[in-house]
Structures are given as structure tokens and as C-alpha cells.
Amino acid sequence: MVGPRRQPSRKGSMADVPQNLQDTIKSLEDTFDVSTAKLKEISDHFVKELEQGLTEEGGDIPMNVTWCMGFPDGHEQGTFLALDMGGTNLRVCEITLPEAKGEFDILQSKYRMPEELKTGTADELWEYIADCLQQFIEYHHEGEKLGQLPLGFTFSYPATQEYIDHGILQRWTKGFDIDGVEGKDVVAPFEQALADRGVPIKLTALINDTTGTMIASAYTDTDMKIGAIFGTGCNAAYMENCGSIPKIAHLNLPPDMPMAINCEYGAFDNAHKVLPRTKYDIIIDKESPRPGQQTYEKMIAGLYLGELFRLVCLDLYDNPEVRLFAGQDISRLRKAYTLDASFLSRIEEDPFGNLQETVDLFETELKLRVTRGECEVFRRLAELIGTRASRLSMCGISAICKKKDLKKCHVGADGSVFNKYPHFKPRAQKALREILDWPEGEKDWVDVRAAEDGSGVGAALIAALTIKRVKDGSSYGIRDPEAMKKLFSNLS
């Protein structure tokens, strides 16, 4: 039998929950709640780390210079390819920017990234990607005689870029662990794999998903000042002035010239100074392929939310005061990363007063029978993990706003957590309000809103902006400006 539709508050339902489970809920709240004062402290420290990352000496946050040097004006034109190497899929797009301001047409295909590829070899990766691009071209342009097609490649990992069409992978994140790529230029082997197949593509811009998100959103909204991803990983990009980037002072770029910075702030607080890490966060880090890296990301990003939930459940199973799943075989639950963020979303979205969907979820996914009281623990735990993620996520955003003195602006946001995790946005806006102290009664001054497709349209726009820049005679951060100019002389 199905219980009544659930009420917004679950307080009334706690009366039937055994005392030991009520105590458990209380203790989980103490573990995962992040107060306003703590958020403010983290945000203030964040500003310092952003500054530090721009210095010659550097710090935990890489603050990567991207050579994306300006916002679009909405009049960009041409046809561009975009390649998005996300976590689960590889997406190839052909994007046409027509004459009409701020518009685009998109043609796209997705290719599943085989799981083994993530821990395979560099050659396998580049060959797989080149094969997908070749297939795309053959399918959509069969028999056509093509010149070189400009490509924006969204490579969403930290990369040091001396040029926009170059990038040395600093380190893999988001669980990737492919041998022989870290510390090396990713463009050269990628181009080689294309050349080996005779695929007529010229990588024009290597970009990060956050930079793409910022630029794609700014294409249609001039209030958009930050691009952010709340997905498998977390990160943001914003526009800095070259004169405020001490680490490139030696290049003597005009001080007012804009330069997009890919913060790579998933690495915030790798020194463990302010983040309220729990024992579960510490286990996630230790067991990850890159312990000590991406401290902030590991507390808030989608890849880790299910794992946090799982680790708490295991802990409560072992706790003699609680004994979750007493007497049952928990072998499925023992498998690392067996739960993803959608497991928590589904618990948070369970519409029934008796949490029947949560009962069913445990039964189907984990082969575990759970009691009504246990379900109340799971519901609260999912809320706590989800709320902590959205609140902490706003420390990075608020820090950029403070650093750039952005009182009112839009933040273009993308990623599975932003798009799919229940209540992410209202929880995040509430946290921003607490951190930034907006006057009572004012609506949100900094508004985090769904972005345009950064890894597709954003990548195409950045490729367009780069070609336009080289044609206008600006050669900053372009490997071989003359060659690029010649190659794309036909593009307007």
C-alpha cells in the first residue's frame, strides 16, 4: 500500500522513529551542517587563495590563464566544430553562428566513453577521440570536399596554457587516471591522431568547460560574469584584467586587456586550513587516485555525493548503537562508488509520507530491507549532504564576487548537480545571501542561473573569437598566428 503524499516538513513523522535513530540524525546534523559564520570564514579564505593563485609563486588554486581574451558581442559568425570530453560521454558538435545576433544552430552526436578508457593509456584515449571525430565528419559530410574545420576542444581538466591552442595537463581529476598524459601537452598527440586518419580538423582553441559556460552565457546575457560547473567536478571561470595577474607580468600585456581565468578551484584548501572536513571526506580523499588533490571538489561535486552517503551508511552499520541493516548481507553496499548522486536525489524527491520510494530504492539497488525509521535517517542524510554541497559551492562563487567587486551579476551554471539535484539552486541562493549580506527584502543580487551550452556553443564561440582576434592582428597566446590566419582566411 502506498502512503499519503508527503508534507513539506518531516518533523511530525519523527515521533515514530526509535530514539537511537533520532540521536543518529542529530549527530549527522552536527557533522554536516555548515553555519553562516563558517561559510563566511571559508569565503574570506577563498579570496586569499584566488589572489595567491595569480602570483608568480602560486598556491593551491591554479588560476589558469586561458588566452580567451574577451566576451563575444553576439555578432560572431561561421561554422565550427566543438568536442566535449566530459566524464561519461564524448560529444561532437557542429555549430553554426548565423548572422542573427546571439543565435546558433547545433548538430551533435554523442559517443559513450568506455569506462576502461578512464584508466587506460594515452594512445587509446587519443585514438578513440580521433575515431569519434572521423565518424562524425564521415557521417555528416559524406563525399564533401572539406577545408580545415576549426575546432574548439573542451578539455575539462586543469591545464597550463602558454597558448590557446596548447595545454599541458597538470593532473587528472574526477577519477580519471590515464597514464602518460599528466605533465604533457595534450594538443600534439591529439592532432597527431587526427593527422594519422587524415581528418581535416584544426584545433583552434583548447578550453575548459567553465570558460565555455561563461562565454556561451555571455553571448546572450551581458550581465553574465562568471561561468560555473556544479557537476561531476566543480569549478568556475571569470574575466580578469591582465594587469592583475602577476604571474604573466613578464609578458607585458596591456593591463586593461581582459583574460579569462579558469580558477580550477576544486583544489581550494588542499592545505586543509578552513574546510570542515569530516572523517568521510578524509576517506574519500585517501582512497581516490589523487590523494591530497581537489579537497574542495571532493566535498561538493556530484562524483562524490553518493560515495559520502555510502560511507556514512557503512559507518552506521558498524555502530553498535545504530546497527542499520541489522543481520543483512551488505555486500553490495561495500562496493566503492556503487551509489551515485541520483540515489540521493531520488531519496530527497520521495513524495510519500512513509518514504516508500526510499524503501524500494534500497531493495532494488542494494538488496536491503529498510525500516521506516531508517528511511528517516536516509532522508535526512541525503538532505544534509545535498545542502552542504550547495552551501559550500557558494563559497567559491562569493569569493570571485568579492575579489572582482561584483555586487550584482549573473552566474552561468551548468552540470548534473545544478541541473538535476533537487533544491540545489534555492539552497545555494540562500547561502549566497548569508555570505554576501544582501539587504533585507532585496532580491538576489548575484543570480546563479542555467547556462547556455558551454562545452558546445561556448567552445565554438571561443574558436570564433580566437580566429577573429588573429585576423585583427592580435597574436597574444596563439601558437602560430600567421598559420592560423592563413588557414582560416576564408572565414569572416
* CA-based nearest residue to 158, from 120, 208, 231, 203: 208
In whole angstroms, the minimum distance from the beta carbon of 234 to ligand BGC comes to: 6
Could you identify the residue written with the cell 558538435?
Answer: 93
Q: Does position 229 bind ligand BGC by CB under 6 A?
A: yes
Q: Does position 481 bind ligand BGC by CB under 6 A?
A: no
In whole angstroms, the minimum distance from the beta carbon of 210 to ligand BGC comes to: 5
Question: What SS3 class is residue 50?
Answer: helix
Residue burial 224-251, b: 16+ Cβ < 10 Å; e: rest:
bbbbbbbbbbbbbbbbbebeebeebeee
Nearest residue to ligand BGC by CB is: 233
The number of helix segments (H) and strand segments (E) in the chain equals 16, 13
In whole angstroms, the minimum distance from the beta carbon of 286 to ligand BGC comes to: 18
* CA-based nearest residue to 125, from 70, 190, 171: 190
CA–CA separation, 294 vs 274, rounded Å? 14
Could you identify the residue written with the cell 594519422?
Answer: 196
Q: Does position 396 bind ligand BGC by CB under 6 A?
A: no
Q: Which stretch binds ligand BGC (CB under 6 A): 112-120, 231-239, 364-372, 398-406?
A: 231-239
Query: Does residue 209 have an active-site annotation?
Result: yes
Please say whether the beta carbons of 29 and 380 come within 8 A.
yes
In whole angstroms, the minimum distance from the beta carbon of 178 to ligand BGC comes to: 14
Query: Does residue 10 have an active-site annotation?
Result: no
Site pattern 289..318 for ligand BGC (x: CB under 6 A): --------x---------------------
Q: Does position 454 bind ligand BGC by CB under 6 A?
A: no
Q: Which of residues 146-185 bind ligand BGC (CB under 6 A)?
A: 156-158, 173-174
CA–CA separation, 214 vs 428, rounded Å? 19
SS3 content of the chain, % helix, strand, coil (to 5): 45, 15, 35
Grid cell in block for residue 93: 558538435
6, 91, 171, 388: which one is catalytic? 171
Q: Which stretch binds ligand BGC (CB under 6 A): 94-102, 204-212, 219-227, 450-458?
A: 204-212
In whole angstroms, the minimum distance from the beta carbon of 59 to ligand BGC comes to: 16
Q: Does position 266 bind ligand BGC by CB under 6 A?
A: yes
The single residue among 161, 235, 393, 398 that binds ligand BGC, judged by CB under 6 A, is: 235
Q: In degrees rounded to 5, what are phi and psi of residue 165?
A: -105, 45
CA–CA separation, 123 vs 196, rounded Å? 12
In whole angstroms, the minimum distance from the beta carbon of 229 to ligand BGC comes to: 4
What letter represents residue 157's amino acid?
Y
CA–CA separation, 468 vs 490, rounded Å? 12
Q: Does position 208 bind ligand BGC by CB under 6 A?
A: yes
In whole angstroms, the minimum distance from the beta carbon of 303 to ligand BGC comes to: 8
13, 43, 156, 416: which one is catalytic? 156
Q: Select 156 or 161, whichever has its Cβ closest to ligand BGC.
A: 156
Q: Does position 264 bind ligand BGC by CB under 6 A?
A: yes
CA–CA separation, 40 vs 52, rounded Å? 19
Site pattern 352..371 for ligand BGC (x: CB under 6 A): --------------------
In whole angstroms, the minimum distance from the beta carbon of 414 to ligand BGC comes to: 9
Q: Select 204 or 293, whichever has its Cβ closest to ligand BGC.
A: 293
Q: In degrees rounded to 5, what are phi and psi of residue 159?
A: -135, 140
Please say whether the beta carbons of 185 and 115 come within 8 A.
no
The single residue among 59, 233, 373, 477 that binds ligand BGC, judged by CB under 6 A, is: 233
The single residue among 24, 43, 161, 210 that binds ligand BGC, judged by CB under 6 A, is: 210
Query: Does residue 171 have an active-site annotation?
Result: yes
In whole angstroms, the minimum distance from the beta carbon of 248 to ligand BGC comes to: 20
Q: Tell me the site size for ligand BGC, rule CB under 6 A.
A: 16
Q: Where are the beta strands (DSSP E) in 279-357?
A: none
Q: Select 24 or 232, whichever has its Cβ closest to ligand BGC.
A: 232
165, 185, 209, 414: which one is catalytic? 209
Q: Between β-strands 224-230 and 201-207, what pairing exists: parallel, antiparallel or unpaired? A: unpaired
Q: Does position 398 bind ligand BGC by CB under 6 A?
A: no
Q: Does position 459 bind ligand BGC by CB under 6 A?
A: no
Question: Who's near 358: CB < 8 A, 6+ residues apart?
Answer: 346, 347, 350, 370, 375, 378, 379
* CA-based nearest residue to 40, from 281, 399, 388: 399
Q: Which stretch binds ligand BGC (CB under 6 A): 27-35, 122-130, 136-144, 226-234?
A: 226-234
Q: Select 206 or 375, whichever has its Cβ closest to ligand BGC.
A: 206
Q: Select 50 or 347, whichever has its Cβ closest to ligand BGC.
A: 50
Question: Who's near 406: CB < 8 A, 6+ residues apart?
Answer: 225, 226, 400, 446
Q: Where are the beta strands (DSSP E) in 245-363?
A: 258-262
Q: Select 209 or 307, whichever has its Cβ closest to ligand BGC.
A: 209
- Name the β-bridge partners of 152: 82, 205
Which residues does the annotation mark as catalytic? 156, 171, 209
Q: Which residues contact ligand BGC by CB under 6 A?
A: 156-158, 173-174, 208-210, 229, 231, 233-235, 264, 266, 297
